[in-house]
Structure 1
C-alpha cells in the first residue's frame, strides 16, 4: 500500500476535518511521525477522533499503523531526481535502453488516460473555444509545457498569453481578467507558490481556473474549477513530461477540430504571410 495513493484515492470521500488531516500529513509528515493523534488534532483544529477516523478512512488499522507508514514511505522518500535516476538505472540493466525508456513513457501516457475524464476533457475544450482570452502559467519544470501550450493556443485560436512572473506586471495582468477569461495553471511537485497565488487572485477576479497537476489533492485544487491529474506524484516530475505534452496535444487537437471555422481562418491568415522572410526550407540558404 502506498500512502499517498491511498489518500488521493479516498480524498473525495473524506469529511472536511479528515481532509485537513490529509493535507497536513502530506505537508508535514515529520509531525505525524513524532506526535500523537491528539497533538495533531490540536495543531490543525480538529478532534483526536477525527484524526483516528481519517486513518480508518484510508484503510489503516489506526494511528500507529499510519505513523509506521509515514516513517517508512514519506520520511525516507527520495527527491524526484533520486527517483528519476533510480528508475533509469533499472532500465539500464535491460538490453535495449532506448526502447525501454520510451516504452515506459508510453506506459505513463496510458496511466494518464485512465486518470482523465472524457466529460471533463470535453468541458475543457468547449471552455477554450468560447472563452475570450486564455492565460497560461507554469514555472520551473512546468514552464516548457506552459510556453508550448500558450504558443500553440495562440496559433489555433488566438488571444493566448503566457504569464511570466519574472517579466510581467502580475497585478496589471490579473486585473485584466474577468469572467470571460480562462486561467490555466500547470503545477507539479514541488509546487511553486507563485503559481498557486496567481490562480487564487485570478479566481477572485472571476476567471475560470483550470489546474493541470500530478495529484488529486495538489495545492492548485483549492482554486481550480476543473482539475486534471496527469501524472502520479510518486514518480519523478521529469518523467511527467511525455504524458503532459501528450495531454496538451490532445487539448489542441480538440480545440482545432471542434472550432474548425476559426482554425481555418487562422490557417488562411498564416498562409497569406510572406513566410520566406522568416523561415528557411530544408537544404535552403539564408537570403
Structure 2
C-alpha cells in the first residue's frame, strides 16, 4: 500500500491537526524524509506529539517508519501508466483476464462508495438543482469525463457549460461566475496547475466548487466546498474510470430525481423536434 492510499484509508479517523500533517506529508514528501518530527511540527505549527500520533493513526511504528515508507516510495516512484500496465500484466497470468479486470472495477466502485459522504452528496445535488449556472472543468485525462458529465447534467437542467481553456477566454468565463454558480472540477494525478488555478479563481468569485479527485488530500481540496474521492489502488486515472463514471452517474441520477418535472419538460421539448434525419435504425434481426 503506497503512502497516499494509506492516508486515504485512515483519513476519516484523523484529528483536524493530524489532517494538517497528512496534507503536508503528501505535498512535501522529500522534506519529511529529511526532517525530524520536531522540525516537521514546527514547519506546520503543530506539536511533535501530533506528528507522532499521526504516524500511529496510520498503524506505523513511529516517525522513523513514516520516513522509511516515504524514502522507498520516492526511490521506486513510477508513472501512473507504468503502474496501470504492471497491475494488468499480473492479472494476465491468470485465466479469465476480462473477468478479473471487471471484478477489479467492481471492487473499486465498492471502495469509492465507502469514501463518499452522503451529506456532501446531498449538498452537491441540492446546489446543482438551485444554481443559476453550472460549469464543468476537466483537462487532459479528465476531459472525457468532464465532457460526459456536462452532457448528462444538461439533460436535467439548462445553463450547463463545459469549460474549454484551449478555445475560450477563461478569465472572461470566470468573471461571469458568482454565488449562484456551481463549478464541478475533475482533477486526477498528475494534477494540472491550470485546473487548480481556475478552481481557485471560481472560488474567489464565491462560486460553489465541487471537487472530484482521487484523494481527500489532492490539491483541489483547497478550493472545493465539497470533495469526492474516487478510489484507485494506484495513481492511474485509467483504473479510476469505472468508479468515476459510476459516481458521476449517481450525481446525474440524483439531479434528475430532484428535478423530475424540469427533466420531463425538457424531454418533451426535445421529442417535439423533427430530428429523424439525425438518426437511423439498427439492422433488424432476420
Shift of 1:5: 3.2
**Match for residue 270 of structure 1?**
270
> 1:178, 1:109 → 2: CA distance?
34
| 1:228-269: CA deviation from partner (whole Å, max 9, x where unpaired) | 111236352111111111111121122112211001111011
- Unaligned 5+ segments in structure 2 are none
CA contact (8 A) 2:4 2:215 kept: no
Q: Which 10-residue stretch deviates more, 178-187 or 7-16? A: 7-16
SS of match in other structure, 1:161 = strand
Superposed CA RMSD: 2.3
Q: Does 1:55 align with 2:58?
A: no
CA contact (8 A) 2:21 2:54 kept: yes
> 1:40, 1:115 → 2: CA distance?
28
| 1:118-176: CA deviation from partner (whole Å, max 9, x where unpaired) | 23222222221111110000111111000000111112212100001111211111111
Q: Does 1:149 align with 2:149?
A: yes
**Match for residue 92 of structure 2?**
92
**Match for residue 79 of structure 1?**
79
Q: Which 10-residue stretch deviates more, 194-203 or 225-234? A: 225-234
Shift of 1:44: 5.0
- Unaligned 5+ segments in structure 1 are none
More RCO (CA 8 Å, sep 6+): 2
Q: Structure 1-normalised TM-score?
A: 0.89
CA contact (8 A) 1:215 1:232 kept: no
CA contact (8 A) 1:138 1:195 kept: yes
**Match for residue 256 of structure 2?**
256
Equivalent pairs counted in the alignment come to 283
SS of match in other structure, 1:224 = coil
Q: Does 1:210 align with 2:210?
A: yes
Q: Does 1:223 align with 2:218?
A: no
SS of match in other structure, 1:239 = helix
> 2:132, 2:13 → 1: CA distance?
32
Q: Does 1:169 align with 2:190?
A: no
CA contact (8 A) 2:14 2:54 kept: no
CA contact (8 A) 2:183 2:210 kept: yes
> 2:192, 2:123 → 1: CA distance?
26
